[in-house]
Structure 1
Amino acid sequence: MLLENPVDWKIVQIQLPASKKNQIISPYQQIVSAIDKFLRDHGGAELMEDLRSDIPRRWERHGDLVMIDACFQNPFWRQYGDDIWRLISEVLSCDRLAQKGSIASNGYRTPSVRLLLGQDGWVEHVDNGIRYTYDVTKCMFSAGNVTEKLRVSRFHCENETVVDLYAGIGYFTLPYLVHARADRLHACEWNPDAVEALRKNLRLNGVEDRCVVHFGDNRQLCPKDVADRVNLGLIPSSEPGWETACAALKRCSGGILHIHGNVETGKTTPKSCNNCDESENVKCLNNRTENEIDSMKVSERNLTNSADTCSSNSSKCSDLSAKTQPNSTKEIWGDWSLGVSSKIRVILERLHTPHIWQTKVLHIEHVKSYAPHIDHLVVDIECRPVPG
């Protein structure tokens, strides 16, 4: 049906409001916009692409201190001095600003951190109810060890004496004291900056009366014949401290060693019984099959309750890794743990000649993947003198 009076109409295009997601400006974009405006206000310099790529995209926040990555390397920025740092601190709402570099290979693993804005680098971090304070320009906080710190917190160390051979700022010392309730702990550390932070942390958490700090080389200062358990939290390998740890265990009853190490899982080499030292009459009991490896109760994160035992009064020696190619990652973990256990027993019997000792793998903890085909593991080894 045709209308007698036609109606005028037209198509109008309207701009819909941006979605909330598109309205959000990221902190990086805010920094870029602020620097762009700053440059235009100070001479009209254009923020070229090479300068944009020199602006930080990620950072770490530690309370009122923000630590940016290694950026602002272009000599162009030097002419503006601290003005750039104050600008970034305003955008990121912080009072102090620091810049992170590489870790120094000086034996202390000192972080290469430069304070850009502020008076000092001391920050506080709360982890599992424990307060840690440290200077970010001198010490690191190992956030990647959280699963192992939680496991230590579940230990029952009442009436036990613990030795922490590489105490640092107290990564494991404090969980042993605060949550595991160790009766006494000997903390060994040779980095003066870490020792300063460790003492502060002991006071912060009210446990300084149960901890003795040994400042210096643990091979010279670690007490002997005192420990029910020893923590060796050093990677990539804690092997330089194995003899010191063995000497710290109680001679009459032994104890448990918690040994950290990085294990390569991507390489395959022909293996022999190189953990069996015939010159010291070492015999390793390890009648292990593929099914028995599976019975070690491997979960996504750990491998526990191995029945594998090494002692020098065993009647036979079987190859710790008879296969030339491990079938799985957990088998590699098992081989590494058994090798560590065997070496520990050799050390114990050398220290306590002519007494015989027995070592047993109690648990293997997968802490994290350190790098491609490299796993950070902790093996718990029970060490006991054999009566007789």
Structure 2
Amino acid sequence: MIEGWRWYGALDRISLSEIAQTGASSIVTALHEIPYGEVWPRETVAARKAQIREAGFDWTVVESLPIHEAIKRGAGDLTQLFANYRQSMANLAAEGIRVICYNFMPLLDWTRTDLTAPVRRGGSCLRFSVEKMAAFELFMIERPRADRDYTADNIAAAKRWYDSAKPEDLEILVTAIMAGLPGAYDRYDVQGLRQALAPYAGLDRDALRANFKRFLDEVIPAAEDLGLSFAVHPDDPPRDILGLPRIVSNAADIDWILSARESLSNGLTLCAGSLGANPANDVPAIAKQFAGKIHFAHLRNVAKEPDGSFEEAAHLEGDTDMPALVEVLMREERRRKNENRPDSDIVFRPDHGHELLTDAQKGAHPGYPLIGRMRGLAELRGVIAGLNHTAVLS
């Protein structure tokens, strides 16, 4: 398995020289400074790749080549947006990029209610609190019919939290939820978010699926021609948010996507944390079911609570059996090697991490501290070494 590390380029507080000290060999990045829907110029891709190579890394996975919201909504004439997307694909392929990670989550890429929840022995983590999310939807943005998405106990807990919250608590909550908006271009206050949600009115699960199918039909043939592998990222969290449908949340959803356009280029980013936040998901079993189409892996863990809340756990301490999951991926790599597949080595990255020691002083992107992820990478490296050793002994 190839050790990757997500890097936000010029927007990242963590330098490539610091990443080099973690031992990772492959950088996972994107041209985050380019607005959604615009073409990624080949010369810009080439410059970024040269920068990464000069620092001693490979760049083979893009995370992400973002999809314009109009495509997700199926709104208007999308001809130019799809043409731009395919041109960006061609420019990436021309520079040797082989895997494109992407998601189809409407409006929000990921959602948390706490960016610095305390960890038992020190440090902090990302957290999703159902009661805070319900308070936000019911009492702050006052979303119509939001009560249908929560239990009576959820709503009662949300009301208690909201009634006791101070103004600064509400501001912190808005900031945490806005952190999940993609890119660096749109951040909203409460009124702004209400307005941003308006264009999605009437977008149900079936409509979003139809728009997703159209996207696949537009890009997967080009991916096949270019030798690219697309890897859809699961919903985070795997539940409807703000009344917006989520359609990449479980094995049935993944099966629909991979069957909607049959192609080896139409594949999966196996995100253990996103899938692991759904109590119904057996993450190692899902990995085994779709192993042949896993093009990229995010390895992280979560600890779930009975009301649907969860928080980021240390990589080997959450609800997912991480060694069992890594073993599935390593067996798949061995199978591909036996078939002489060119994509036999799977890039993974230690996804998220606790803020530990001096991480908080660094001010890195939420969930992407240096020391916390380095701890996660070291633990995962140990799991891989142990499984390789066991295989030798057996």
Same fold (TM over 0.5): no
TM-score range normalised by the length of the shorter chain: under 0.3
Q: Greater helix percent: which structure?
A: 2
Bigger Rg over Cα: 1
Higher RCO (C-alpha 8 Å, min separation 6):
2
Q: Greater strand percent: which structure?
A: 1
